[in-house]
Amino acid sequence: MSGQPITLIGGGLVGALLAVQLAQRGFSVDVHEKRPDPRRAGFLGGRSINLALAERGLQALRMAGLAETVLQHAVMMRGRMVHDREGNGALQRYGVDDSEVIWSVSRGALNMLLLDAAEAAGARLHFGQALASVDFDSMRIRLATAGGGEQDVQAGLLIGADGAGSALRSAMNAHAPLGERVEPLGHGYKELEIPPAGKLPTALQQLGGGRDQYALEPHALHIWPRGGYMCIALPNTEGSFTVTLFLPAQGAAPSFATLPDATAAAAFFSTQFPGLLSLLPDFRADYDSNPVGTLSTLYLDRWHLDGRALLIGDAAHAIVPFHGQGMNCGFEDTVVLADLLAASPDDTAAVFAEFQRQRQPNADAIAAMAVENYVEMRDSVADPHYLAKRELGSALAARIPDHCMARYRLVTFTHVPYAYALERGRAQDALLEQLLRDTPNVADVDIEAAARLFQSTLPPLPELRHG
Ligand code: FAD
Ligand code: 8R5
C-alpha cells in the first residue's frame, strides 16, 4: 500500500474504528489520544454509560470483523416502552420482528474492544497525548503529554476524530475558517442509575414482574414522555439501567435552572416520574454529582484543509442524541473514508472533497431527524393522531413493503442514505396525512385504495437487504 502515513487525533469510538479500517487496508496509522489508556487506567468503578447501536454501526463493525464480539456484550432492545404518569407501560416495537432491533452497548467496553482491534490490526496507539497546536505548513503537531510536558512530532495525513470539542477543528479553523456554526438545542441532560433489582429494597423487586435481575423489562428502550421533557433508560448487561433526564436548560419550571439540586429535583420527580423515582435509590447523590450535559448541532462549511487534514465523526458533525445515531453515523463515515483512501491513497485532496460530498448531505439529514425525534419521543408518542398515522403506516408497510417503510426503520435498520430517509419520510407522511384528513380512525381508511395511492404516487423503495 502506498499513501502517506496517517496521524489520527482521537481514539474514541470513531477514531478507534477508523484506525482498525485503515490499518486493515495496509495504511501506517498512529493514533494520539488525550486520555489515558482505558484498558489500563481501569473503567471499573466509573459510571456505566451505554449507547444504542443500530444497523449502520453494526454494518461498519461487521466489515471490520467485530460485529459478533460486540453483540455478545449487548442487550437487545425490541422497541420503546412508553411509561405514563400512572405507571402503565406499553411497548411500541421499532421493527417488524426481532431482525429489526437496536442494541444497548457499554461505551467503555466498546471503546476498549475497538482499541484492542486497532492494535491487533497494526495501528500504533499513543495515550495521554492531547493535540495542542498544528503548523500546517510544515505539518508538525504539538502534543500536550500526560505529565504536563509537550512533544513536537511530524504528522502524516491528519485526521481529526477528536469529538465535538475537536482541537484539530480549532487549529484548522484558525488557519482558514471552516464556516463553523453551532445550534444549541436549549435543552440539557443528566444521567441517573437504576441498579439491578436485587439491590433495590425488596418491596420494589417485584415491580420488574418477578425478573430477578432487571427492575424493568430489559429488552426495551424505556421512555417517560412528559410533553416538554422526558426521561429515558437503556439496559446495561449487569442488570442496571442508565437513565437520562432531558429538560430545558433555562426558563420557566421545569428546567435545570429551576431544579438546581436534588431536593428540588426529588419533589419534581415525585409528581412527574413517581414510578421511576422509586427505582432510583441513589437519586440524590446522582443528581447532585452528575453534571448537566449540553446538547447542540454542529455544522461546518468545510470538513477538510485541502489534502492535509480532515474531520470525521462528531468533530465534523455533532448532532443531538434523539435518534441514537451519532455513533452509528460516525461508524458509517469510517467505512466510506477508508474505502475512498484505499482506492486513491495518493490523491488525498480529491478523497477528502469526495468524502465531504458524499457524507455532508447525510450528516445534515440525520441532524434534522434527530431534532425532530425529540418532539416525537417526549410528546407525540401520546398523541392519538400520531398513533393513527403510525398504525396506518404499519398496515401499509405490511401490505406493500416495496412502497412503504417507516422513516424510523429506514434510518435504524437499513443502509439507505440518511438524506433519502428524510425525503422519503416526508413524502410518505404527506400521503398518510391525506388519508387521515377526513377521519381519525384507521379502520375507516380503505387499505386497498391507500396502497394504490402509495404505489401510484411514490417510486418503489430501493433494495433494502440488511443484516
Ligand atoms: P468521541 O467519542 O467524543 O471521541 C473523541 C475522542 O477524542 C475522545 O477519546 C477524546 O478523549 C479524544 N480527544 C479529545 N480532544 C483531544 C485532543 N485534543 N487530542 C487528542 N485526543 C482528543 N450515539 C449513538 O449512535 N447512539 C447512542 O445511543 C448514543 N448515545 C449517546 C449517549 C451519550 C451520553 C453521549 C454523550 C453521546 C451519545 N451518542 C450516541 C453519540 C456518540 O457518543 C458520538 O456520536 C460518538 O461517540 C462520536 O464518536 P467520536 O469518536 O467522533 O467522538
Ligand atoms: N445521548 C437513543 C433512540 C431513539 C428512541 C426512540 C434516543 C443520552 C446523552 Cl435520547 C436517545 C434514542 O425513538 O424510541 N435510540 O437510541 C439514544 C438516546 O439517548 C442517548 C442514550 C443519550 C446523549 C444522553
Spatial neighbors of 456 by CB under 8 A, at least 6 apart, are: none
Block mean pLDDT (10 aa), the chain, length 467: 88 99 98 96 69 98 98 97 93 94 97 98 98 98 95 98 98 98 98 91 57 87 96 96 98 97 98 97 98 98 97 98 98 98 97 98 98 90 85 97 98 98 98 95 96 98 73
pLDDT for residue 467: 45
450 is a domain residue: yes
- Measured from CB, residues less than 6 Å from any atom of ligand 2 are 51-52, 80, 189, 221, 232, 234, 244, 293, 321-324, 373, 377
Q: Looking at the structure, tell me whether residues 177 and 136 fall in a common domain.
A: yes
Position 398 scores a pLDDT of: 97
Position 1 scores a pLDDT of 53
Atom of ligand 2 lying closest to residue 326 CA: 1
Residue nearest to atom 5 of ligand 2 (CA): 323
User: Which CATH number fits the domain that encloses residue 119?
Assistant: 3.50.50.60
Q: Cα 29 from chain centroid? A: 26
10 Å CB burial of residue 284 (0-12, 13-18, 19+) is middle
Query: Could you tell me the CA-to-CA distances from 91 to 110, 378, 415, 429, 447 in Å, in that order?
Result: 27, 15, 25, 22, 25
pLDDT tens-digit map of 215-224: 999 999 999 9
The Å distance, Cα 164 to ligand 2 centre, comes to 17
407-70-351-153 Cα dihedral, nearest 10 degrees: 140
Determine whether the shortest distance from the Cβ of 117 to ligand 1 is under 6 A: no
Distance of CA 466 to the CA centre of its chain: 19
Ligand 1 pocket check for 50: Cβ under 6 Å: no
Q: Are residues 52 and 130 in the same domain?
A: yes
Q: Identify the domain containing residue 391 by its residue range.
A: 383-457
Residue 48 confidence (pLDDT): 78
Name which of 1, 87, 90, 101 is nearest 279 in CA terms. Answer: 87
Same domain, 336 and 237: no
**Among 314, 463, 440, 309, residue whose Cα is nearest residue 384:** 440
Tell me which residue has its CA closest to atom 15 in ligand 1.
162
Instruction: Confirm whether 21 is domain-assigned.
Output: yes
What's the pLDDT at 3?
Answer: 85
Atom of ligand 1 nearest to the CA of 167: 18
Q: Which of 350, 372, 394 is the last residue of a domain?
A: 372
User: What are the backbone angles phi and psi of residue 310, rounded to the nearest 5°?
Assistant: -145, 145
Q: Return the pLDDT at 204.
A: 64
Place of cell 462549511: 301
Q: How far is the CA of 243 from the centre of ligand 1 (A)?
A: 18
Please choose, from the candidates 292, 301, 313, the residue with its C-alpha nearest in 3D space to the C-alpha of residue 186: 292
Same domain for 22 and 165? yes
CA 2 to ligand 2 center in whole angstroms: 41
> Is residue 84 in a domain?
no
In a domain, 97, yes or no: no
67 and 157 fall within a common domain: yes
The angle subtended at Cα 91 by Cα 265 and Cα 376, nearest 5°, is 60
Please state the φ and ψ torsions of residue 126, each to the nearest 5 degrees.
Answer: -120, 110
Determine the 3-state secondary structure of 63 from DSSP: helix
Q: Are 294 and 339 in contact (CB under 8 A)?
A: no
The pLDDT assigned to 271 comes to 97
Identify which of 17, 18, 34 to mutate to test ligand 1's pocket (most ligand atoms within 8 A of the CB): 34
Q: Which residues contact 342 (CB under 8 A, 6 or more apart)?
A: 1, 25, 26, 27
**Is 340 domain-assigned?**
yes
What's the confidence (pLDDT) of residue 211? 47
Q: Looking at ligand 2, which residue's alpha carbon is closest to its atom 12?
A: 324
Please indicate, yes or no, whether residues 290 and 349 belong to a single structural domain of this protein: no
Given ligand 2 and candidates 322, 381, 408, 412, which is best to mutate, with the most ligand atoms within 8 Å of its CB?
322
Q: Is residue 464 part of a domain?
A: no
Q: Please tell me the distance from the alpha carbon of residue 167 to that of residue 171, in angstroms, as a whole number.
A: 6
Cell numbers describing residue 280: 432510583
The answer to whether position 377 is within a domain reads no
DSSP 116-143: HHHHHHT-EEEESEEEEEEETTTTEEEE
Quick check: 296 and 182 in contact, CB under 8 A? yes
User: 371 Cβ partners below 8 Å, 6+ apart?
Assistant: 185, 297, 320, 322
What is the 149 CA–ligand 2 centroid distance (Å)?
38
User: What is the per-residue pLDDT for 212?
Assistant: 55
Please give the Cα distance from 285 to 445 (Å, whole number).
52
Dist. CA 384–CA 406, nearest whole Å: 17
**What pLDDT digit, counting tens, does each position of 125-167 carry?**
999 999 999 999 999 999 999 889 999 999 999 999 999 999 9
How many domains, in total, are found in the chain?
A: 3
Same domain, yes or no: 260 and 309: no
User: Which cell numbers in the block locate residue 259?
Assistant: 431544579
Whole-number CA gyration radius for the chain? 23
* 131 CB near ligand 1 (under 6 Å): yes
Nearest atom in ligand 1 to 54's CA: 25
Nearest-CA residue for atom 46 of ligand 1: 327
Its pTM surpasses 0.85: yes
